[in-house]
Structure 1
């Protein structure tokens, strides 16, 4: 009799949840992947029992091929049943998957592979063509697997001939799942690079377990639910939660290009109760729903993360939902997610504070997370005692850098000692993470975001924070979004507001600038902002379509002012 025993969480593996679901609900749907061809939609499906058996078989085959525990493997496979089976197989075998965002660009991808030193490269044919062209992992990769169709094709690095790697399942040969200690490396997840150079975040199974616990306890996700998953990493938590992951036919690295009809169809076919969507997708789906008076009656919750969604887009999207269903906005980063959350009902009540320059409310910490605010400094802080014993720790309603601790907080970057030292603070046996974001805690313990530390503008007279200033000017009807940058004039820093206008809105430049000056004069933080530039189309990250590349705008504004 195959009995599954819950392992000690001090030595665990994410795949224990999949094995448990395979025993308790073997025939339940685990994954469904949508495919479109000539506007016709079809779905590939797999249940928990088969997914578990397939990942066992792949884990055995990987070992047989020579890829063993402790090795690192790049995984560049599009969302598919193969993606799920491969990822779980890597975790089961103790092989460290290296996950990157293809949207970060060729140069950044090459640097990621140089730093992570992969032993194996597993990808679709397109990924291998790029690997060859740009010499990704050339000096370290010894094993190559190409994923295509229903089979894995393999060949030794550098050889043109590909030989079949036969994987048979079910084989009745359960894989002896590798279990790791609390802080052992189980994966390397690279940041997208939208707020700086991509860095490899070291993940442990402890971090994954903490994320799963948060989804269960704070987001109330239960086994048997169905999730419309639009982000590959988050979709892996579906089977781990006993929840089916429904993957729509879309480019996950470019959500703004998704077809709303496909997403609506998948939600309705499987009666999805959960939707994970970033702000760009929330906006896209909301507009499509409003145009067609569409309703999504099966959804019980919507989770948005990655960047702050605009209040207007949340309000529009919410028209599709039942009255008691909220959009849950989550704050966090690759290094630590989720940290805080706030429901749309409470968030929409903060509109006046945000429009008056109070920042964006991102809610209260989830269970197990502690948030503190420290004074803004570029110095490394080695020990939390330094913060406590000096005047670095700030009180309520004081803006500073957000520092977090909790079981889902990463302890290091991979092969980035300087980045680790600048972002991590040792607190006894716990590591705290400096988010690089600025904000404050109010008297009720709510966290308010005020922008990136690197995006503040320091003049001789004051320090200006991006989000509070920009949201004041964003209240003008002609304005789509703004970005505050600093421009040097004879070694004196002056604040300049870059403006992207709503398409089709007609207003003269002189009238607009006069009206913006009038708006800014009403608030202390914006009364000294009087230089404006209109930009035709802000450079933004492709994944969230919300993170503005202010560094590029700053260069553009400097050239304009010269």
Structure 2
């Protein structure tokens, strides 16, 4: 009997419950053709592919508890391999290819993988940059032609012998290692347990109301894996999932229409791209029942633009969380746009909604020191800004081989039991229980008069018609910390126009108690941002740049 905690068993269950229903569809375009084709698998076929992959991988030498890097683009092989590794009891290692060569090498040095499965480009990079060379014992290519052993080759060598029985293990046993993207710090390997995966599936089913038989336009590979586990078909558009801002909106629209998708997962950058394309071409997405956006806060403008393509009762759900704990809270676009925007424009931060079921959110006094026990933390009252901490089954217990990071980020609840994760974000809870984000803890500007918080300050200036976005950073004059605002214009401006905009921003700053402390204003051509979300600003780099600009004056 298969271990009920294993995430792969959700696929087996759905293969029995709805064997002929669509599980996966992959969109393809050959060359420069605009004509799409699709590769499809039913739940029964995907389960059989998973079993065959288990027998093949076992024959190749991969066994339970082995750590396996998986760098495969969304495809039938991606789904079969991922579920097979779970079913085998092996531990897949997932990394974001957009994090950069040096970060990737560090990830593999820390994780010490036993095997490496990837597309040809991943293997070339592995050889060139020495990824995992001290620990990797075998390599497997997912390609038609390769100098390495191929996945297709071992499938021919080791035929499918029927249902593969997963080994038994504890609910909190390590199921996977997911590395953070590094967009808000050094990438760290988050240990996922089977219990944590199952809690995430339950949250998507219960809090978002996802049901078997739905079809999801999935633009993020790991989210796409939840589809088959929920009995929902994952429709994969033809796009580079590591660079969603390069996606062709027409391809995505065609996939939605072709399969009458009911669910759409898109990060804020892609949401904006699709909204702009839809506004230009007058799209109506009549089949969509819900949109889930995560990864970074979407702007109200992009939400409103996308909302215009949906049926009146359909909402865009903004979901808050992190690799270490996801999802944590959510809020629908109707309430977000109707009830929270005025407070945001006045510097109240960004509302990220209500806690999902079985998740506890608390706010503690800001400190950069480790906190071992909850009784040692200062819990704050509603309306007080502090560090966001969260507890629940979707919250990870530790980082992989990062003891110091675990000590700095986890708090044992010695009062009611369990453990909290320190999100590294600042915010507060209002009197209705909604969570408001004020910015990253590491990005706060600490002045002699008190702290300034990025999201609370920047939104005031982002209202200016000539401003695309702003970034609050800290600079120094002598030994004194001061606040500076970096400005990205939405259209090219000459020197005189820039001076005029700065004067107007200074007037806006003077109207608020917190923003009037900002003393320096600098125009920047294009902010450094993360590749995936195109929204997480690298303020550390901007702070160095602003300091240099200040010293030129």
Q: 1:58 to 1:163 in 2, by over 3 A?
A: closer
Aligned to 2:249: 260
Aligned to 2:402: 416
Please, what TM-score do these two structures have when normalized by structure 1?
0.95
Q: Tell me whether 1:16 sits opposite 2:9 in the alignment.
A: yes
Q: 1:82 to 1:163 in 2, by over 3 A?
A: closer
Q: Tell me whether 1:466 sits opposite 2:454 in the alignment.
A: yes
- Residues 466-520 of structure 1 show CA distances to partners (whole Å, capped at 9, x for unaligned) of 0000001111111100000010110111100000001256771221111111111
Aligned to 2:380: 394
Aligned to 1:158: none
Aligned to 1:558: 547
User: In structure 2, what is the Cα distance between the partners aligned to 1:437 and 1:409?
Assistant: 15
Q: Which moved more, 1:164-173 or 1:330-339?
A: 164-173
User: In structure 2, what is the Cα distance between the partners aligned to 1:431 and 1:519?
Assistant: 42
How far 1:15 moved relative to its partner?
Answer: 1.1
Unpaired runs of at least 5, structure 1: 156-160
Q: Tell me whether 1:308 sits opposite 2:297 in the alignment.
A: yes
Q: Tell me whether 1:335 sits opposite 2:330 in the alignment.
A: no
- The question of whether the paired residues in 1 share the 8 Å contact of 2:59 and 2:158 is answered with no
- Residues 151-175 of structure 1 show CA distances to partners (whole Å, capped at 9, x for unaligned) of 99854xxxxx999313489835210
Q: Residue 182 of structure 2: which of 175, 193, 196 is its match? A: 193
Alignment of 1:60-459 (within 5 A): 60-149=55-144, 155=149, 164-167=153-156, 171=160, 173-349=162-338, 350-387=340-377, 392-428=378-414, 429-459=417-447
- The question of whether the paired residues in 1 share the 8 Å contact of 2:53 and 2:155 is answered with no
Q: 1:162 to 1:52 in 2, by over 3 A?
A: closer
- The question of whether the paired residues in 1 share the 8 Å contact of 2:120 and 2:146 is answered with no
- The question of whether the paired residues in 1 share the 8 Å contact of 2:51 and 2:164 is answered with yes
- The question of whether the paired residues in 1 share the 8 Å contact of 2:22 and 2:41 is answered with yes
SS of equivalent residue, structure 1 residue 530: strand
- Residues 220-266 of structure 1 show CA distances to partners (whole Å, capped at 9, x for unaligned) of 00000000000000000000000000000111111100000000000
- The question of whether the paired residues in 2 share the 8 Å contact of 1:154 and 1:162 is answered with no
SS of equivalent residue, structure 1 residue 180: coil
Please, what TM-score do these two structures have when normalized by structure 2?
0.96
User: In structure 2, what is the Cα distance between the partners aligned to 1:238 and 1:180?
Assistant: 24
- The question of whether the paired residues in 1 share the 8 Å contact of 2:413 and 2:419 is answered with yes
- The question of whether the paired residues in 1 share the 8 Å contact of 2:2 and 2:168 is answered with no
Q: 1:274 to 1:505 in 2, by over 3 A?
A: farther
SS of equivalent residue, structure 1 residue 50: helix
SS of equivalent residue, structure 1 residue 499: strand
User: In structure 1, what is the Cα distance between the partners aligned to 2:69 and 2:272?
Assistant: 32
SS of equivalent residue, structure 2 residue 273: helix
User: In structure 2, what is the Cα distance between the partners aligned to 1:164 and 1:153?
Assistant: 12
Q: Which moved more, 1:347-356 or 1:227-236?
A: 347-356
Q: 1:170 to 1:51 in 2, by over 3 A?
A: farther
User: In structure 2, what is the Cα distance between the partners aligned to 1:90 and 1:250?
Assistant: 25
Aligned to 1:487: 475
Q: 1:359 to 1:258 in 2, by over 3 A?
A: same
Higher relative helix content: 2
How far 1:39 moved relative to its partner?
Answer: 2.1
Q: Residue 497 of structure 1: which of 468, 485, 492 is its match? A: 485
How far 1:382 moved relative to its partner?
Answer: 0.6
Q: Tell me whether 1:530 sits opposite 2:519 in the alignment.
A: yes
User: In structure 1, what is the Cα distance between the partners aligned to 2:20 and 2:240?
Assistant: 29
Aligned to 1:475: 463
- Residues 68-94 of structure 1 show CA distances to partners (whole Å, capped at 9, x for unaligned) of 000000000000010000000000000
User: In structure 1, what is the Cα distance between the partners aligned to 2:234 and 2:251?
Assistant: 15
User: In structure 2, what is the Cα distance between the partners aligned to 1:227 and 1:209?
Assistant: 19
- Residues 382-429 of structure 1 show CA distances to partners (whole Å, capped at 9, x for unaligned) of 111222xxxx11000000000000000000000100100000011245
- The question of whether the paired residues in 2 share the 8 Å contact of 1:13 and 1:178 is answered with no
RMSD (CA atoms): 1.7
- The question of whether the paired residues in 2 share the 8 Å contact of 1:402 and 1:435 is answered with yes
Q: 1:170 to 1:128 in 2, by over 3 A?
A: closer
How far 1:177 moved relative to its partner?
Answer: 1.6
State the aligned residue count.
545
User: In structure 1, what is the Cα distance between the partners aligned to 2:408 and 2:27?
Assistant: 42
Q: 1:169 to 1:162 in 2, by over 3 A?
A: closer
User: In structure 1, what is the Cα distance between the partners aligned to 2:405 and 2:311?
Assistant: 44
- Residues 260-308 of structure 1 show CA distances to partners (whole Å, capped at 9, x for unaligned) of 0000000000000000000000000000000111111100000000000
Unpaired runs of at least 5, structure 2: none
How far 1:180 moved relative to its partner?
Answer: 2.4
- The question of whether the paired residues in 2 share the 8 Å contact of 1:57 and 1:167 is answered with no
User: In structure 1, what is the Cα distance between the partners aligned to 2:151 and 2:454?
Assistant: 52
Q: Which moved more, 1:36-45 or 1:239-248?
A: 36-45
How far 1:187 moved relative to its partner?
Answer: 0.0
User: In structure 1, what is the Cα distance between the partners aligned to 2:214 and 2:130?
Assistant: 42
